Structure 1
Amino acid sequence: MNARTLPILGGLAFGALILANASLFTVSETQQAITLQFGQPKNFFNIDGTDPGLKVMVPFIQQREIYDRRILDLTPSGKSEVVTADQERLEVDSFARWRIVNPLRFYQAVRTEGRARDRLTSLLEASLRRVLGSAQSTDIISGRRSQLMSAIRAEMNREARTLGIEVVDVKIRAADLPPANQERVFERMRSERQQAAASVRAAGDRQAQEIRGGADRERAKIIADAYNQDPGFAAFYRSMQAYEKALPPGTTIVTSPDGDFFRFFNSRGGGSGQQ
């Protein structure tokens, strides 16, 4: 080997290195990739997570796009202002989780994760306003929040699918009233709860009256049947009730002992001279 061949070998080695770098690439277990030739898709790699590793493409003619297969976070920088169905203004702090499910469609629609996040942020904002705008503030603050989040996710997915994206989850971390509105809304919520409690109590009172009325009617029937079977006992029982009402403990009464009122004290049968 002479001095003239060394530069040639060095140049060939450098060219081979450039060629290898342009034609070989690696796709990890958490990635998926497509190769394109003149803008048209040629090959897909590790879309379902089964073929990661070293991949080959035609250098200088084909290009590769590598995307994440994992679930990604979307956290808007600020809170969203929402006007609810009962005209209350809420400040909503939310976030979403998403993933790329169709890398070709993703490439054609947004191409980069940064642009995808911008589109998803707009979708989240619009979906929050539409779904929460049709709900009552009390449902958002303390009631049907899980159902509302499912509705927001479904609405986002209707457009996200056209971007090759699936929205996996949407969460509302906080839905707060502006400080100026809090006391007024909480007072209204207390009033609604008090009205509901009063309605339940009224229904209970009506039911109790119906039960008492039925019991009184049954009691009167039993007593009437007893009176019909034994008139003497009926007279005795009525007199005992009269004594109980007329002579509470500590009562002093002055009357003739042979009067009609006290006839059962003189005779077991209620008549004079009967024993």
Structure 2
Amino acid sequence: MSSRSLTVFGGMAITALIMANASFFTVSETQQAITFQFGEPQNFFNTDGTDPGLKVMIPFVQQREIYDRRILDLAPSGKSEVVTADQERLEVDSFARWRIINPLRFYQAVRTEDRARDRLTGLLEASLRRVLGSAQSTDIISGRRSALMASIRSEMNREARTFGIEVVDVKIRAADLPPANQERVFERMRSERQQAAASVRAAGDRQAQEIRGGADRERAKIIADSYNQDPGFAAFYRSMQAYERALPTGTTIVTSPDSDFFRFFKNRSGTPGGG
């Protein structure tokens, strides 16, 4: 084979490789793709995860954009400073997870993942300020955090969906008070808990007094009913109470044997005659 033939053959082989490279591309299971012709979308590939594989496009006329189908991370590099409804300043370390749900809208609005992350970082910062700014610092630190995160995610999605993105999750790694404010806020939280405990104890004391008062009234009623039904028993019962109060254990008392105080020791009826 002459050198001229080799040159022609080599040129044809290179041209074929270039054409093949410009005509074929692969979309993996974790990717989705769009082809454009003169800026207009032509075909969508694997947007629902059922169409991966080798794809064909018209070389030099059509172009392709390949995007990830997986859930992606958004981790801002710094903390967000938030002023809460009770005017406490918090340093919030947060992150989000997101995915591309509409590749065409994504292409038209942001085009690249880096630009999407920039937009989402701004959305996350703004949503943190709005949602956490309307909450109490105690709710953010130890209370309604999960509900607040859901509100932030919903607020972000209202705008994120306009550029083909869904925010899947938002989390707060940490929400810390600046060191100068920590002790003051924790002292206020302790005071609030102590006030709540005192209120519960006071309610319990009132209920206990009401129960004791009701029992005392019932006891007095039973005794009064007994007195009315049997005056003799009433006299005996009063004497027994008087003995109990007057003669505690170890008491020595000197009195006349015929004292009326001890009449029930003489006979059951408590009368001088006995019986």
Hey, what does 2:217 align to over in structure 1?
A: 217
Hey, what does 2:246 align to over in structure 1?
A: 246
Hey, what does 2:132 align to over in structure 1?
A: 132
Identity %: 87
**1:178-201 CA deviation, whole Å, 9 max, x = no partner?**
111111111100000000000001
Hey, what does 1:167 align to over in structure 2?
A: 167
Which letter does structure 2 place at the counterpart of 1:140? I
Hey, what does 1:44 align to over in structure 2?
A: 44
1:208 deviation in Å?
0.8
**SS of alignment partner, residue 255 of structure 1:** coil
Cα distance in 1, alignment partners of residues 176 and 216 from structure 2? 54
Hey, what does 1:257 align to over in structure 2?
A: 257
1:16 deviation in Å?
1.2
1:15 aligns with 2:5: no
Hey, what does 2:67 align to over in structure 1?
A: 67
**SS of alignment partner, residue 29 of structure 2:** coil
Cα distance in 2, alignment partners of residues 53 and 225 from structure 1? 97
Hey, what does 1:267 align to over in structure 2?
A: 267
Hey, what does 1:115 align to over in structure 2?
A: 115
1:74 deviation in Å?
0.6
Number of residue pairs aligned between Structure 1 and Structure 2: 275
**1:75-99 CA deviation, whole Å, 9 max, x = no partner?**
1101111111111111111111000
**SS of alignment partner, residue 15 of structure 2:** helix
Cα distance in 1, alignment partners of residues 144 and 242 from structure 2? 61
Cα distance in 1, alignment partners of residues 247 and 175 from structure 2? 67
1:226 deviation in Å?
1.6
Hey, what does 1:194 align to over in structure 2?
A: 194
Cα distance in 2, alignment partners of residues 66 and 259 from structure 1? 114
1:215 deviation in Å?
1.1
1:158 deviation in Å?
0.6
**SS of alignment partner, residue 3 of structure 2:** coil
Q: How does 1:135-154 map to 2 (within 5 A)?
A: 135-154=135-154
1:165 deviation in Å?
0.4
Which letter does structure 1 place at the counterpart of 2:148? L
TM-score (norm 2): 0.97
1:227 aligns with 2:227: yes
Cα distance in 2, alignment partners of residues 255 and 91 from structure 1? 84
Hey, what does 1:24 align to over in structure 2?
A: 24
1:154 deviation in Å?
0.7
Cα distance in 1, alignment partners of residues 95 and 255 from structure 2? 89
Which letter does structure 2 place at the counterpart of 1:32? Q
1:250 deviation in Å?
2.1
Cα distance in 2, alignment partners of residues 257 and 46 from structure 1? 114
Range with greater deviation from structure 2 (11-20 or 183-192): 11-20
Cα distance in 2, alignment partners of residues 261 and 78 from structure 1? 90
Which letter does structure 2 place at the counterpart of 1:132? L
Cα distance in 1, alignment partners of residues 259 and 81 from structure 2? 87
TM-score (norm 1): 0.97
Cα distance in 2, alignment partners of residues 137 and 147 from structure 1? 14
Hey, what does 2:179 align to over in structure 1?
A: 179
Range with greater deviation from structure 2 (81-90 or 252-261): 252-261
Hey, what does 1:85 align to over in structure 2?
A: 85
Range with greater deviation from structure 2 (25-34 or 222-231): 222-231
Hey, what does 2:6 align to over in structure 1?
A: 6
